Every structure is written in structure tokens, then in C-alpha cells.
Structure 1
Amino acid sequence: MDLAKVVVVVYDFDQVFQSKMYWDKDLLYKTIGDHPYKNFDMNFQYRMVASDEQVAWMDDLTAQKPMKPFPDNSDFEFKVYDTAGGMFEDIKKRNKEVGMSRMVATSGFPRIDGRHNVEMDTFSLPWDEWDPQRTHWAKREGSITQVGTIYTLQGFDLNYVGMVIGPSFGYDKETDTMTIIPEKYSHKEIFKKRKDIKFTQDEYKEFIANVLNVLMKRGKYGLYLTAYDDALRKRLLELAERK
């Protein structure tokens, strides 16, 4: 603050996915102190060709609101798959047609025979390889046979995204909502303690929800979707058939 005439701070509470990233509003205003400031709300996204209603559907899903069919009111392509293997075949086709189409997933997949892959039905691929010294992960030719994460794709655009909702998400039939199960989320950075803030279970759930929300919105032209949890996947398929 003391080194510049004008400081621009951009902070998106909905893109926080680790405890160390978190600032609450009190801390933000305490840091600003007595300096004069102006607030600007950035509430419009230019990345996706999706309609406002379609973006709101993604927000509502991760906010654990009652589930409903995906709106069909734009050129944005939305598909739900019974298998991750079938979805991967379509992502590979899209990648050949327009490029920049990748599989992504949230954390929580168990190790099988020593492999820490994303494994579901016929689908089995390793996680991404992050290396800041190399070409960006999504631009590497070999990344089509890897699964992207929040760490390699936050702030990066794809054309089509194949989203595997991992084991840390389930379904509650009584409320007709997607649920978040923190104990099944395997990336522990999210849960690291801080001396200045004590996080609640609901706040940890928000971090996990933010990961899914950000990843679903990586695709400019389309979102292909499936879920590891059988009940959640079944409900998504039912709603897709009702469009």
C-alpha cells in the first residue's frame, strides 16, 4: 500500500479452495486501513458462450440447492454421461476437431493396486503433471491422456471440458441436492490450519465446492459431465433426459 499511488486488488471469494488462500472481508478491510478506496463488482464472465441461466445452474449445483434440468437456451453444449470412459471418447473427438479439450476431476479417488489414477468404469488415467518451467499443461500434446486439476487449470480456458465429479460429492434424495463429503477429499492442503482463523466444516465444504465450480467453467463451448457417486450420476442423467 505504501509503495504505489494506486493499488488494484482483485479477489474472488468463490475461487478460494485452500485455507491459506482465504481472506474474509474483515481482514480485507483491516488491510486497507484508512486508505481511500472504491469497490467494483465484477459480475459478468466473458469466457463461456453459456447463458446466465446455465452459469447459474452450475452455481446452484455447487451451492447444494435442489437440482433441476440444465437450461437449453444457448449454443453451449452440455452432456451428462453414464460412464467416464464414454465421455473421454467424446473429449478426444472434440480435441481432434477444435483442440484444447481435456478431462478434469476433483480429488478423492482411491489408490488401486498402487496407482493414484482417476479410475471409474473403463476409464483410468493419471493426474496432470504440473511444471511451471514447461509449456502450460493443457497446451501439451500428451495432456490429453492425463486428468487436469484446479492447480493446472484455474485461470486457463479450454474449448470443451470433460468433468468427472469425484468421490467427495454425493446425493441426498430427500432434499434432491448434491452433497459434499470433506472426509473423502484426499488433497489435504485444503484443511491446513491457520493461527489467525479457525475454519468450520461448512467453510471447508465451500472450498471443495469452489474447486468443482471453477473446473466446470473451464470450457468455453461445452461441459461434459459425469459423477463417481452412483446416486448423483443417476440423478444427473435423469435430469438430462427431462430437458
Structure 2
Amino acid sequence: MPNAQCQNSALYKLNRPANQLTTEQQALQEQVIQFCLANAHAEHATFLIQGAAGTGKSVILSSVFKALQTLARQTPTSPLYGSQNVLLVNHPEMLKLYKSGTTTAPVLLKKDFQRPTTFINQAAKNHQLADIVLVDEAHLLLTKSDPYNHFNQTNQLDEIRRHSRITILIFDEQQVLKVKSFWQQQQLRQRIEAAPHQTAQLTHQFRMQAHPSVENWVQTFHQQQVAALPHDPHFEFKVFTDANELYQTIRFKNQTSGLARMLATYDFPATLNDGHDHFVETSTFKLRWDRYQPTAKTYWAEREDSIDEVGSVYTIQGFDLNYAGVIIGPSVTYDPQSERLVIHPEYYEDQAAFAGAAQLADPEAAKQQIILNSLYVLMSRARNGLYLYAVDPALQAKLLSL
């Protein structure tokens, strides 16, 4: 792997040295450490870190955890020496990435990183109380029971806080992808404001190497509005009339720049773990969905064979690409009269994402928000270029007109 690509790899960025953090990141890390020191004996305290996709939330959390484990395991003079700390993430690819980083950091052990359900069930069984629990992708925490995934309580955040003195959360409500993880700011704040707490907001965009107008366009699209395409000589933003042409461009970019992959909304049939390939297909294009490989040592986009696959929102969430080719499926259409996107949950193939929606005040709005969030995740992956193709003729025509 060329050196530039090595520095863009997920593992490198997640485990970059503290002296390579920005001034803002270093200040936030120190703020979190001081919060932990001040609340080491509190009954419970919560530190909430928020920020849009690409603002370096996981980088901060990884660096904070390494600093905490250094104090806990190598600094006898610290009040945090001997503290029992753990980092949780409800995302198997991210968990794999965190565990890979233990090979270069002696203060970290693979057992330090767990899925939330594993931690909750073990802590409940053994009546354990952790000192500090860090949660990456906290927007993926379950807000209702899920017996299929061995979570029988009602809310994962409540259970994590029940079994920890201090909780440090990374949260972005725009990245909630399932109704069973449906969070809103009001629900979150009600939980943390009853005890000592601090919040921080990350704003600097590290992923998109582009003018802020590019990120603003993606945010506007997430709000169901289609604005004029931004022009940035340093970021390639292009609409394709043919999905296969888009794919060939992605293949070329992968050869010349690395980390270029196809992505699609979950509007094409797929069944997890059934032993068969499933395909994303248009009139000119057919490529298999990403194959589930739980034993793979590298995450999806950094595997060589994934150039011959289409990544889903679950595969790519939390990770970067240099170039992203996004196929917008039939669940996202455009109404020329209202000049807004129209969302069709009935066309979304991941109907399991809507399980439990009937219990919400506005089930249809929740389903539409899940689809918009998934689209936002897909469209916010690219560092250097975003390519789009829409299945809906009206949306495709609108994008081309821009």
C-alpha cells in the first residue's frame, strides 16, 4: 500500500499519535480526562461528544481511551490508576478495527473492546461496575429490547450507565439506522442532565477535503431538498447517467488513488448469512452486495475483493473512502411540483430496520427518517469525490439539470 494510502487507512487514522491531533482535538481530549478525574468518585457522570459525519469523533474517542488506559495501567501516581475501563461499539466492523489497534499500543488489550450487549449481560450477571465506559457510535445503541441479539432490557444506554461510574458518548442522531435504535436529542438529554455532565460539539470537517458548500449540499439533501451542485476544484462532484459508467470510473479511481468503492441504498434484495450472493442491479449494471466476512482481518473497503462489490450503509458507516459511487435506489424519488425528495419506505428492502415503528407516535415519519439517515451516511463517506446515480427518473433528471 502506498504511503499516502497507508495514512488514509482506517487503522492509521484511528490510532494516530496524540501529537498529530489538532489543537481542538487535543483540547477536547484534555477536557474529557479532567472530567474523568473530577468525577472519579461520582455515583454517575456523562460526557457527550457530538458532531456530524467526518468530524473526527472516533479519532478523539480512540485517543482518549488510550490516554485513560495509560493512566490506569502505567501511571501509579494518577487517581485513575487501577481503574477498570472499556470501550463499546455496536458495529462489528468498527469493533474489529479497534481490536486491530491493540497490536501497536501496549496499554490496550483486545478484551478492552466489546459490543454493548456483551458488556451489559456480563456486568449484570457478575454484578460488576466499570469505572469508565466509552461508547462509540452511541446512536446505534438499542432503545428497546432485542431478544434476537440477546438484549432483554429496554434501553442499552440506561444499562450501560447502570453499570459504570462515568460514561463517555459519541453521538450523531443523523446516523440512526434502525427504529430499535431510534434516538432523539430530547430523549438523550433527559437521561444525562440529571447527573454531572458535560457536552462538546465537533465542527471541523476532516473527511470531506472540500469547500463547506459540499457538506452543506449533503446536509440539504438529508433535509429532502435538492440544491444546485457545488463547484469545488478540489472535490469531484458528478452525476452519472449510467450506473455502469459510474462503476468503471470508481474502478479507475481505485487503481489511481485507492479506497474508491460502490455504495447503494438498501433498495435491492439481500439476505444476511444465507450463503448466497445478492445483487444491486439497474438496466446497465449488476454487482453483488458485500459478502459478510466476520473473520476478515481488514474492514470491507480495504479488502481488495470489495472493488467487485457494493457496500451497504451497515458496511461503510464509520469509515472513509477517497471516492464514493452512490446508487440512490427507488425508495428515494423527487417531486418536481413540491421540489422536494419523496421517501417511500415500502420500497426499502431492509424492512427489519422498521421493526417496532408502530409503537412510535409517527411511524411513517420515523421510517422516512431512517432512510434519509442511511442516505446521509452513504453520501458523507468521500474525501475527494462523490459520484451519484439515481434510479428514479425524476430525481435523476433533477440531479442532471443541476
Q: Which residue of 2 aligns with 1:43?
A: 203
Q: TM-score, normalised by structure 1?
A: 0.89
Choose the corresponding residue for 2:391, options 228, 235, 238: 228
Confirm whether residue 52 of structure 1 aligns to residue 215 of structure 2: no
Confirm whether residue 107 of structure 1 aligns to residue 266 of structure 2: yes
Choose the corresponding residue for 2:366, options 203, 208, 212: 203
Q: What percent of counterpart residues are identical?
A: 37
Residue 74 of structure 1 deviates from its aligned partner by 4.7
Choose the corresponding residue for 2:347, options 184, 190, 202: 184
Residue 33 of structure 1 deviates from its aligned partner by 5.5
Choose the corresponding residue for 2:284, options 122, 140, 146: 122
- Asked if structure 2 preserves the Cα contact closer than 8 Å seen for 1:170 and 1:229, the reply is yes
Choose the corresponding residue for 2:237, options 78, 88, 106: 78
Q: Which amino acid aligns with 1:185?
A: Y
Q: Which residue of 1 aligns with 2:256?
A: 97
Segments of 4+ in structure 1 off by > 3 A? Answer: 194-199
- Asked if structure 2 preserves the Cα contact closer than 8 Å seen for 1:62 and 1:178, the reply is no
Between stretches 31-40 and 158-167, larger displacement belongs to: 31-40
Residue 25 of structure 1 deviates from its aligned partner by 3.1
Tell me the matched-pair count: 236
- By relative contact order (CA 8 Å, sep 6+), the higher-ranking structure is 1
Separation in 2, partners of 1:159, 1:118: 22
Q: Which residue of 1 aligns with 2:185?
A: 25
- Asked if structure 2 preserves the Cα contact closer than 8 Å seen for 1:17 and 1:190, the reply is yes
Residue 9 of structure 1 deviates from its aligned partner by 1.2
Separation in 2, partners of 1:180, 1:197: 18
Q: Which amino acid aligns with 2:204?
A: F
Q: 3-state DSSP class of the match of 1:29?
A: helix
Q: Which amino acid aligns with 2:347?
A: K
Q: Which residue of 2 aligns with 1:14?
A: 174
Choose the corresponding residue for 1:64, options 212, 224, 237: 224
The 1:147–1:207 alpha-carbon spacing in structure 2 relative to 1, beyond 3 Å, is same
Between stretches 207-216 and 195-204, larger displacement belongs to: 195-204
Q: 3-state DSSP class of the match of 1:38?
A: strand
Separation in 1, partners of 2:183, 2:335: 31
Q: Which amino acid aligns with 1:234?
A: A
Separation in 1, partners of 2:193, 2:385: 43
Q: Which residue of 2 aligns with 1:162?
A: 325
Separation in 2, partners of 1:200, 1:194: 5
Question: Of Structure 1 and Structure 2, which has the larger fraction of its residues in helix?
Answer: 2
Q: 3-state DSSP class of the match of 2:230?
A: coil
> What are structure 1's unaligned runs of at least 5 residues?
none
- Asked if structure 1 preserves the Cα contact closer than 8 Å seen for 2:326 and 2:387, the reply is yes
Between stretches 83-92 and 2-11, larger displacement belongs to: 2-11
- Asked if structure 2 preserves the Cα contact closer than 8 Å seen for 1:85 and 1:121, the reply is no
Between stretches 25-34 and 210-219, larger displacement belongs to: 25-34
- Asked if structure 1 preserves the Cα contact closer than 8 Å seen for 2:345 and 2:371, the reply is yes
Q: TM-score, normalised by structure 2?
A: 0.55
